């Protein structure tokens, strides 16, 4: 008749990242400089410097370090460090997360202990500039040498 109510475990209370959404990992000890764009989920455990425009989830792990002027993605989860402005539909800063930059988002969550030095602007809808995410087949066609001269 009376049962003891089970308390949820600490792990059950921690927000989890759906692993099925992560397609690529930049592992710890890896440093990458350049531009990152496309579709899919990426987890950064190393260091990244450049621009990010992503149709999907970007997770900056506790060991991750991202430096970019403008980071754009559907969802950004930060447990590591980000230096740069973030534009995303959803931004989550975990307790170990550190952000230096402005955030534009429609949904924002943070845990106690998280750090943000910048401004947060909440919008009803956020355009993350996915038109900048290039189609790889179009890039290949654009980079082909133009026909010059005529064949006799």
User: How many CB atoms neighbour CB 36 within 10 A?
Assistant: 20
Q: What is the mean pLDDT of the chain?
A: 80
148 band by pLDDT with thresholds 50, 70 and 90: very low
In a domain, 3, yes or no: no
Q: Looking at the predicted structure, is the pLDDT value of residue 1 above 80?
A: no
- The structure's pTM equals 0.72
Report the chain's C-alpha Rg in angstroms. 20
Domain count for the chain, please give it. 1
Greater pLDDT, 88 or 149: 88
In a domain, 7, yes or no: no
Q: What proportion of the chain, given as a percentage, has pLDDT over 90?
A: 62
Q: Fill in the DSSP letter of residue 4.
A: P
In a domain, 10, yes or no: no
Q: Looking at the predicted structure, is the pLDDT value of residue 128 above 80?
A: no
Range of the domain at 24: 20-142
Average pLDDT over residues 63-86: 95
Q: What's the pLDDT at 4? A: 55
134 band by pLDDT with thresholds 50, 70 and 90: very low
In a domain, 2, yes or no: no
23 band by pLDDT with thresholds 50, 70 and 90: confident
In a domain, 11, yes or no: no
In a domain, 102, yes or no: yes
Q: How is 42-79 classified by DSSP, letter by letter?
A: EEE-SEEEEEEEEEEEEEE-TT-EEEEEEEEEEEEEES
Q: What's the pLDDT at 131? A: 56
* CA separation for the pair 54, 29 (Å, rounded): 22
In a domain, 151, yes or no: no
In a domain, 148, yes or no: no
- Mean pLDDT is lowest, of 5-19, 29-43, 54-68, for 5-19
């Amino acid at each position: 008749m009376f049962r003891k109510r089970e308390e949820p475990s600490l792990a059950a209370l921690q927000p989890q990242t759906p692993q099925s959404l992560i397609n690529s990992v930049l592992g710890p000890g890896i440093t990458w400089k350049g531009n990152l764009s496309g579709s899919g989920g990426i987890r950064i455990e190393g260091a990244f410097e450049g621009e990010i425009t992503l149709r999907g989830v970007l997770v900056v792990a506790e060991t991750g370090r991202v430096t970019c002027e403008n980071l754009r993605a559907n969802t950004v989860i930060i447990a590591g460090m980000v230096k740069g402005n973030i534009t995303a539909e959803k931004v989550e800063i975990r307790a170990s997360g550190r952000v230096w930059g402005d955030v534009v988002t429609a949904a924002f969550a943070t845990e106690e202990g998280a750090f943000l030095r910048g401004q947060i602007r909440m919008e009803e809808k956020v355009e993350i500039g996915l038109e900048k995410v290039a189609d790889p087949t179009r890039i290949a066609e654009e980079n082909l040498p133009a026909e010059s001269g005529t064949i006799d």
